[in-house]
Amino acid sequence: MMGTAWRWALIACILLISCTGRAEVKMPNLFSDHMVLQRSSATPVWGWAGKGESVQVILAGIKAQTVAEKDGKWTVMLDLANCPDGPHEMAVEARNKTIIHDVVIGEVWLASGQSNMAAMLKNSGDAKQEIMRSTDSLLREFHVDGSSRDGSKGKWTVCTPPTTGDFSAIAYYFAKFLRGSVGRPVGIINAARSGTEIEAWMSEEALSEDSEISTGHNALVKARADYPEKIAAYQHELAEWMQTHDRKDPGCANPSSFAAPGVPMDGWVPITLPGGIAGTGLPRFGALWVKKDIEIPLSLVNETVKMQLGVMEGFDTVYWNGEKIADTPAQNFPGTGYHHYYVVPPALVHPGKAVIAIRVFSPSATPAFLSLASTFWVGPINLAGEWFAKSEFALPPLSAVAEKSLPKPPENFSGAVGAELFDSIIAPIKPYRLAGILWYQGESNAGRAYQYRKAFPLLIKDWRRQWGRDDLPFYFCQLANYLPKRPDPGESEWAELREAQSLALSLPSSGQAVLIDLGEAGDIHPRNKKTVGERLSRLALANNYGKNVVWSGPVYDSIKIEGKTLRVKFLHADGGLVAHPVPARYDVRTLVGETAPLIRNNPDSELEGFAICGADHKWVWADAKIDGDSVVVWSDKISSPIAIRYGWSDNPTCNLFNGAGLPAAPFRTDDFPAITRNAAFGKK
């Protein structure tokens, strides 16, 4: 006869099995209050319930029913083709009942890429005025959290002045222009991350489709797996080496004597950073300080401010107005190639002058900041230029034994490798029904621009395959002009990346917003996001919503050699070809009002930005003028021209537009070897 204890145990097991088989219905946060669902005849809604459990979804009288699979996953398709915009309530019923409030039916666009797509409206041009007038209950954004693989985090936010500042600026303006033209609700899924390479956004399946990319991916995955053991061993070996050779850092007894505001300048010497920290009285080995005064604009006050110091030689401790905000000491050094990114807390960001002071300890090499001048900054403020440095203490030169036994650090792996962002950000939101995709990425791939010719189409095809739609619209931003202007025509990684982007237009249902006139020489994040959103909206309005709008600037079509001149014909010369006035100054950093005088390449030419070459492949700036529906290009220095380039530079001066005010896309007619042809993913 069964005892009482056994009976209660059996009852508990039965109840557990029953509860397990009838789990409460759940859905990813994409399906939550204020969501925008795509108007279509097959809009998926999905979630989880108990195995075999019946699930019913009801929205505006439209019903769909299904049964949860073995793993608890369920999906229904709603026919929303003729559903009113709303707002509605959506009921999801299984063992329990969930009500989702304020659901609207409209157009849903996925906005992805890196920092220029992630850039928030509050940090764009004219942000304050735009945010004040941004109330629109039918414009909404879902920011993908990315920390859960099932999409259980993130939320929909309605466009109101208290919230809109955190929207993707480009996506916000795109949605605003779309709303103004088609009148429907618009939802943006914000899935962008700063400083990311395209391979991180591709699935494992896509990465395996190209042997070169796959080889690089596999090498990086292995290196990433080996990294923890290697960096731990290095840090241990370095500590022993420093102890053995008396190169340990004793620390600074009184940091405020170097870092605090108002410190006397006795003994401080001027230096230029980024670069090596060298000068009279500065040690090659030991500890020294560098500092710089900056002016904080009102737009940064009480905001979290990011500081980028790039790759360094030495171990740093960073102070802001005398307060320590971050450090990377020897015992925590992440490896070679590590980029020093820090954050200044909002409570420390006050209007007026701020002092950045950095202590650099270097036991084995000349201390240096090795980043590019254009990427050495705090918030929007470029830190490149004059700093001041002072010695704290010097170490003696390295002995031969110490130099020979110095441990070598491994390569740092703090960023994403292939497929990581796809798995954490993109996979959880599919197959949420989309009207299309917006993409702004490429800055992080400029050094491998030639390989981008393969990687970019792979990504587009991959995402379309993931959504099961070969015709899913994919509209992207060509990289804006950036970096210092160059006096002579020549090669350019950024120009090669733009070319790789343009080549993706061979894919159907794709489109490119050309931004060659919107960039800033000293800011990789140009603040004019309104025009970017407007140009992307033109692509969608013309190609997806049947609106009669011009959606492209002039695009190279053909070239004809006519003796000493070249005649170039263009597609999309809507309203005729136009030579815009060439400004006397160009933007360097609009946030601080910085401009620079523009030195014309050809002051007497109607058009700027054209270069030609002869059989010797030596490029010269060319004269160019509009002649009807074509452009005639020539140079007195070239008697037999064979090729032409337009806008082929990091930051070209070019002024060819069409009558609709859209710029001509940069191009080249030659096929000379690309300077990035040997750079590959995973190749060090």
Output the CA torsion sign for 214, 219, 222, 225.
negative
CB 584 within 8 A of CB 664: no
Per-residue pLDDT of 510-551, as tens digits, reads: 999 999 999 999 888 999 999 999 999 999 999 999 999 999
Residue 454, pLDDT above cutoff 90: yes
Rounded CA gap, 278 and 367, in Å? Answer: 8
Comparison of pLDDT for 148 and 364, the residue scoring more: 364
Residue 6, pLDDT above cutoff 50: no
Closest CA to 612 of 578, 646, 585: 646
CB 607 within 8 A of CB 630: no
Predicted pLDDT at 304: 86
Identify any residues that bridge with 566 across adjacent strands, giving them in sequence order.
Answer: 561, 633
Q: Could you tell me the pLDDT band of residue 505, with boundaries at 50, 70 and 90?
A: very high
Residue 366, pLDDT above cutoff 60: yes
Per-residue pLDDT of 143-181, as tens digits, reads: 998 776 665 578 999 999 999 999 999 999 999 999 999
Residue 15, pLDDT above cutoff 90: no
Predicted pLDDT at 303: 83
Q: Could you tell me the pLDDT band of residue 230, with boundaries at 50, 70 and 90?
A: very high
Residue 644, pLDDT above cutoff 50: yes
Q: Quick count: other Cβ atoms within 10 Å of Cβ 1?
A: 3
Residue 213, pLDDT above cutoff 50: yes
Predicted pLDDT at 374: 62
For the chain, state the CA radius of gyration.
29
Cα first-last separation, the chain = 73
For residues 553-564, average pLDDT = 96
Which of 21-25, 80-84, 191-195: highest mean pLDDT? 80-84
DSSP assignment letter at 95: S
Predicted pLDDT at 413: 82
Q: What is the pTM of this model?
A: 0.88
Residue 16, pLDDT above cutoff 70: no
For residues 561-579, average pLDDT = 95
Residue 13, pLDDT above cutoff 50: no
In degrees, rounded to 5, the angle at the alpha carbon of residue 586 between the alpha carbons of residues 583 and 592 is 135
Predicted pLDDT at 149: 62
Torsion of CA 133, 166, 424, 311, to 10 degrees: 140
Concatenated DSSP letters of 316-332? EEEEETTEEEEEE-GGG
Q: What average pLDDT does the chain have?
A: 93
Least confident residue range of 105-119, 294-308, 546-560:
294-308
Per-residue pLDDT of 24-80, as tens digits, reads: 899 999 999 999 999 999 999 999 999 999 999 999 999 999 999 999 999 999 999
Identify any residues that bridge with 394 across adjacent strands, giving them in sequence order.
Answer: 286
Rounded CA gap, 207 and 454, in Å? Answer: 11
Which residues, other chains included, contact 529 with Cβ-Cβ below 8 Å and sequence gap of 6+? 119, 121, 124, 125, 169, 170, 173
Residue 607, pLDDT above cutoff 50: yes
Domains in the chain: ranges and CATH: 249-405 (2.60.120.260), 555-664 (no CATH)
Least confident residue range of 40-49, 611-620, 675-684:
675-684
Q: Quick count: other Cβ atoms within 10 Å of Cβ 310?
A: 18
C-alpha distances in Å from residue 15, one per residue of 7, 55, 211, 377: 12, 22, 53, 61
The one-letter amino acid code at 444 reads S
For residues 504-508, average pLDDT = 98
Per-residue pLDDT of 590-602, as tens digits, reads: 887 889 999 999 9
Q: Could you tell me the pLDDT band of residue 684, with boundaries at 50, 70 and 90?
A: low
Predicted pLDDT at 150: 62
Give percent above pLDDT 90 in the chain. 86
Residue 14, pLDDT above cutoff 50: no
Identify any residues that bridge with 340 across adjacent strands, giving them in sequence order.
Answer: 310
For residues 235-263, average pLDDT = 95
Q: Could you tell me the pLDDT band of residue 2, with boundaries at 50, 70 and 90?
A: very low
Residue 19, pLDDT above cutoff 50: no
Least confident residue range of 114-118, 305-309, 452-456, 663-667:
305-309
Per-residue pLDDT of 70-88, as tens digits, reads: 999 999 999 999 999 999 9
CB 27 within 8 A of CB 68: no
